[in-house]
Amino acid sequence: MKFVPIFDDEDYLLSVKGDHEKYCEFDKILRNWTDIEYLDTFFTTHEVDLKRPFWEGISVEQAIIETRNEAIKFRQYLRRISKKNPSERLVLLLRLFQPLKKDQPTISFLEKKKAYGLRNKTWLRIYALKFGEDKYLITGGAIKLTDNMSEREHTREELRKLETCKRYIIEEGIVDEDGIIELLEL
Amino acid sequence: MKDTAKNKLNKYISRESLDWMAQADYYEINKDWLNKSALIAIKILSTLRSQSITQKALADSMGVTPQYINKVVKGYENLSLETICKIERSLGISLISVPSYESSQVILDSFSTVPFSIPKIESKPIGSKKTEYNSESKYQPQEIHIAA
């Protein structure tokens, strides 16, 4: 397992990359969310969830378009903030992530976090572990159409990834017991 | 303790070229055709599903490889008009429409019967062109519409 910095000049935001993977998790989710074939397969597989009243009868085709547009906007937003200075960027990044669960303690060891997409009613989620004060490690992302992550296999898988990464970081001694790390300036 | 953690973390950091940044920059330059390519891909996939046709069967009927069709349905391919027409013919659908021009002239069977004359050009005062212009061809402007 490797950690890839999302912005090239500092390490506030990292993404997990599997040993034999071509792309890191962050690259993978953005690729999937703009890949029409992937989205078509996903929304036809989960059409029953798409029919829930909350999504207001959106069709598979419209869902594909909305997801792609939102992912592109999100990617362009990050590209814009990648050109800002690191301290300004940090302020914007800190606003992105929220606790994974509403009832979880505000300060916890390797806290599990989520970021929403940019629409009001968004189904896009990015999942991350918080390191220390202001650093995040992206473990994956999902299109979440149900109320709870435990309801569908693809969101359960994201919960497993969060937990696996957390365990890996502890077992490898990458983070101390206070959850504080010092990242090297390379 | 901290130094140990620092050194250990360093082993796991991998600085490499970021795909998402390259994709973002590529999209900025090519978004006009990429957006159309995505809509075409959606239409193709929904037609394949409704007609129970596989991507391989479509590839065979078009004389292209299944790998090429797979690239097309991802919505990243800059399609040629020839390819679009082949897909339209194979699936019996329309993917794009363009402005049409209807001729008001009757096309005759034989050239020998075509009355041939040179149009008479009369001198007009400057500025009269706009009001005098009268084409026999009907222009029906239409936005390119891609059915999604």
Residue B48's CATH number = 1.10.260.40
Q: Can you give the residue range of the structural domain that contains B23? A: 19-98
d(CA A62, CA A67): 9
Mutate to test the interface with B, among A36, A60, A89 (most CBs of B within 10 A): A36
Interchain proximity B20–A60, CB inside 8 Å: no
At A50, the amino acid letter reads L
Residue B21: CB atoms within 10 A of its CB come to 17
Of A31, A34, A176, the CB nearest to B5: A176
A20 at interface of B, judged by CB pairs closer than 8 A: no
**Residue indicated by tokens 């330059």:** B29
Identify all chain A residues contacting B28, using CB atoms and an 8 Å cutoff: 76
Nearest CA in chain B to A29: B20
pLDDT class of A106 with cuts at 50, 70, 90: low
d(CA A74, CA B24): 10
Would you give the DSSP letter of residue B121?
Answer: P
H or E element that contains A131: strand A124-131
Decide if B13 is inside a domain. no
Mean pLDDT of chain B: 78
Residue A56 has pLDDT above 80, yes or no: yes
Under 8 Å between Cβ of A112 and A102: no
Residue spans per domain, chain A: 2-185
Note which residues in 65-104 of chain A have CB less than 8 A from chain B.
65, 68, 72, 75-76, 78-79, 82
What percent of chain B is predicted at pLDDT more than 70? 64
Mutate to test the interface with A, among B10, B17, B18 (most CBs of A within 10 A): B18
Residue A27 has pLDDT above 90, yes or no: yes
Of B1, B21, B148, the CB nearest to A176: B1
The pair of structure tokens assigned to A155 is 């969101």
Q: Give the phi and the psi of residue B65 in degrees, each rounded to 5.
A: -85, 150
| A55-69, A88-102, B16-30, B127-141: segment of lowest average pLDDT | B127-141
Region B35-40 average pLDDT: 97
Of A2, A8, A36, the CB nearest to B42: A36
The model's pTM is 0.81
A146 at interface of B, judged by CB pairs closer than 8 A: no
A52 at interface of B, judged by CB pairs closer than 8 A: no
Decide if B115 is inside a domain. no
Region A140-158 average pLDDT: 96
Of how many residues is chain A composed? 186
For B58-93, the pLDDT digits (tens) are 999 999 999 999 999 999 999 999 999 999 999 999
Interchain proximity A37–B45, CB inside 8 Å: yes
Region A157-181 average pLDDT: 82
Decide if B110 is inside a domain. no
Residue B139 has pLDDT above 60, yes or no: no
Interchain proximity A27–B2, CB inside 8 Å: no
Under 8 Å between Cβ of A127 and A162: yes
Say what the pLDDT of residue B91 is: 97
Residue B130 has pLDDT above 70, yes or no: no
d(CA B39, CA B73): 10
H or E element that contains B58: helix B55-62
Decide if B29 is inside a domain. yes
Question: Following CA atoms A147, A149, A151, A153 in sequence, which dihedral angle do they give, to the nearest 10 degrees?
Answer: 140
pLDDT class of A105 with cuts at 50, 70, 90: low
Say what the pLDDT of residue B138 is: 42
Say what the pLDDT of residue A152 is: 96
Compare A177 and A22 and report the one with higher pLDDT: A22
Burial of A103 by CB count in 10 Å (0-12 exposed, 13-18 middle, 19+ buried)?
exposed
At B83, the amino acid letter reads T
Interchain proximity A78–B15, CB inside 8 Å: no
d(CA A153, CA A158): 9
Decide if B76 is inside a domain. yes
Contacts for A139 with CB less than 8 Å, ≥ 6 apart = A16, A25, A127, A128, A129, A158, A161, A162, A165
Compare B109 and A7 and report the one with higher pLDDT: A7
Nearest CA in chain A to B18: A6
Q: Identify the CA nearest to B20 among candidates A177, A164, A5.
A: A5
Mutate to test the interface with A, among B3, B4, B12, B35 (most CBs of A within 10 A): B12
Query: How far is residue A132 CA from its own chain's centroid?
Result: 18
Of how many residues is chain B composed? 148
d(CA B51, CA B128): 56
How many structural domains compose chain B?
A: 1
